[in-house]
Amino acid sequence: MSGYDRVIDSMFGKSIFKSESTLFPEFVPPELPTRDREITRLVKNFRSLLGKEGSFSVNVAIVGQPGIGKTALCKYTMKHFAEAASSRNINVKFLYYNCHSFRSKTAILRNILSEHFRIQSRGFSDEEILDMLVKRLSREDMRLIIALDEANMLNSDDILSIFHAGEYFGSEQSLISTIIISRPIEWRSLLNVPLSGHIHDQLDVPGYTRDQILEILEYRANLALVPTSYSDDTLNLIADISAPSQNARLGLEILYRGGKNADLKLESFISAEYIRAAKADVYPELRRDVLEELRVQELLSIMGVARKLKAEGSTSTTIDESYEDYLLSCEEYEIESRGKSTFRAAIETLHKVGMLGKSVGPIAQGKRGRRAQITILDIPVSVLLERIETILKKKIGENNLD
């Protein structure tokens, strides 16, 4: 077979996948098995937006561990909520923002105006942008619902100011509502008295049981795979592997990787061996969505830490030590390096999103001062480096160097 024929066969030849994308983390399925109660509760929180006597600003928090479908719950429910409101001639607009990409109130507000209302806001203050936004919403008689995912990337004051924006015309004519999506630890660190006073409801989304994970796997496998490519035993094995973590995303990634393993071997069935091989390559602690949202400088920073740990065979390192490997990584990828203060800020961000562990202890016995020790939690350094290198090459190839 010629190289050209091999390319054509790989593109259009047989595959066990009907639709690979339906197993991707960002995919929101047509139905959400096992989440009826949470959907109902979320919808009822926002019913006041539909009242003809005036709408009230609603602020809801969706809190839960990784991999339990918080984002899908929000996107699915609000999409159908807006559609149902439109069918009754009520103008509701839902916008989703991942705060890994939009890390300030200003960035979010500017994007809302430019991308969704075609209003240029360059040179205006946040207060002026809010004024333009609220006036536009009022003119169009529109209720805006903003979802802030990984909201811990913002500070409490930024979130609070977005809450206050919803009250621009007074509590009985509020036009902006908010959904905060966060993991429990980050939510507790973010929550303060002023912020908690504006949260009308907190949905604590539970992890999945083994049977619920199996139900999700059955539904998504039906969307993604040729029916003869898997069996009940295949899905039950994945459910057994995923059950201790209560993490459905882990199960879906194992199913996807198992399918890719079979496809690469030109097999028509996902055997138990392919599932076991996939499990060895999937680490629930290493969140692919978070890693892909990191900026180039943050990827180079965590690469510096990982390379230092790998070279020395140690469990922890310091800012000063890993900064040297960060500089070498920048040189290797021909990316301009930043100063140590910027590197330290990147390490703080990586710690904040759970990619790095950090503890502070005394420098040495008999000496004054304290020094941060940085470590990588529960993930083989070689696996982390492999993932970082893949994402870095993709971002550099796309000239996405921000």
When mean pLDDT is compared across 20-24, 138-142, 350-354, the lowest value belongs to: 350-354
Q: Are 388 and 303 in contact (CB under 8 A)?
A: yes
Q: Are 251 and 44 in contact (CB under 8 A)?
A: no
| Rounded CA separation 393/149 (Å) | 26
Does residue 212 surpass a pLDDT of 70? yes
- Looking at residues 327-335, what average pLDDT do you find? 95
CATH 1.10.10.10 for domain 288-397, yes or no, is yes
Check residue 161 and give its pLDDT. Answer: 84
Indicate the pairing of strand 91-98 with strand 357-362: unpaired
Does residue 314 surpass a pLDDT of 90? no
Question: How many CB atoms are closer than 10 A to CB 370?
Answer: 9
Check residue 43 and give its pLDDT. Answer: 96
| Rounded CA separation 105/158 (Å) | 6
Closest listed residue to residue 70, CA positions, set 9, 25, 128: 25
- pTM, two decimal places: 0.78
- Looking at residues 206-219, what average pLDDT do you find? 97
Question: pLDDT tens for residues 338-374?
Answer: 999 999 999 988 888 878 887 664 444 444 445 678 8
Does residue 87 surpass a pLDDT of 50? yes
Burial of 50 (0-12, 13-18, 19+ CB in 10 A): middle
Residue labelled with tokens 């908010």: 178
Average pLDDT over the chain reads: 86
Does residue 196 surpass a pLDDT of 90? no
When mean pLDDT is compared across 48-62, 91-105, 258-272, 299-313, the lowest value belongs to: 48-62
Question: pLDDT tens for residues 36-49?
Answer: 999 999 999 999 88
Check residue 19 and give its pLDDT. Answer: 94
Distance between alpha carbon 91 and the CA centroid of its chain, in Å? 28
Indicate the pairing of strand 59-63 with strand 201-204: parallel
Q: Tokens at residue 298, please? A: 């943050």
The three-state (H, E, C) secondary structure of the chain, written as one string: CCHHHHHHHHHHCCCCECCHHHHCCCCCCCCCCCCHHHHHHHHHHCHHHHCCCCCCCCEEEEECCCCCCHHHHHHHHHHHHHHHHHCCCCEEEEEEEECCCCCCHHHHHHHHHHHHCCCCCCCCCHHHHHHHHHHHHHHHCEEEEEEEECHHHCCHHHHHHHHHHCCCCCHHHCCEEEEEEECHHHHHHHCCHHHHCCCCEEEECCCCCHHHHHHHHHHHHHHHECHHHCCHHHHHHHHHHHHHHCCHHHHHHHHHHHHHHHHHCCCCCCCHHHHHHHHHHCCCCCCHHHHHHCCHHHHHHHHHHHHHHHHHCCCCECHHHHHHHHHHHHHHCCCCCCCHHHHHHHHHHHHHCCCCEEEEEECCCCCCCEEEEEECCCCCHHHHHHHHHHHHHHHHHCCCCC
Does residue 174 surpass a pLDDT of 80? no
Residue ranges of the chain that CATH labels 1.10.10.10: 288-397
- Looking at residues 296-317, what average pLDDT do you find? 90
Distance between alpha carbon 318 and the CA centroid of its chain, in Å? 28
Hey, what's the torsion of the CAs at 213, 214, 218, 221, to 10 degrees?
A: 60
Residue ranges of the chain that CATH labels 1.10.8.60: 208-281
CATH of domain 208-281: 1.10.8.60
| Rounded CA separation 38/329 (Å) | 45
Question: How many CB atoms are closer than 10 A to CB 26?
Answer: 11
Residue ranges of the chain that CATH labels 3.40.50.300: 36-204
Tell me what percent of the residues of the chain surpass a pLDDT of 70: 88
Class of domain 36-204: alpha beta
Does residue 283 surpass a pLDDT of 80? no
- Looking at residues 79-108, what average pLDDT do you find? 92
Check residue 312 and give its pLDDT. Answer: 85
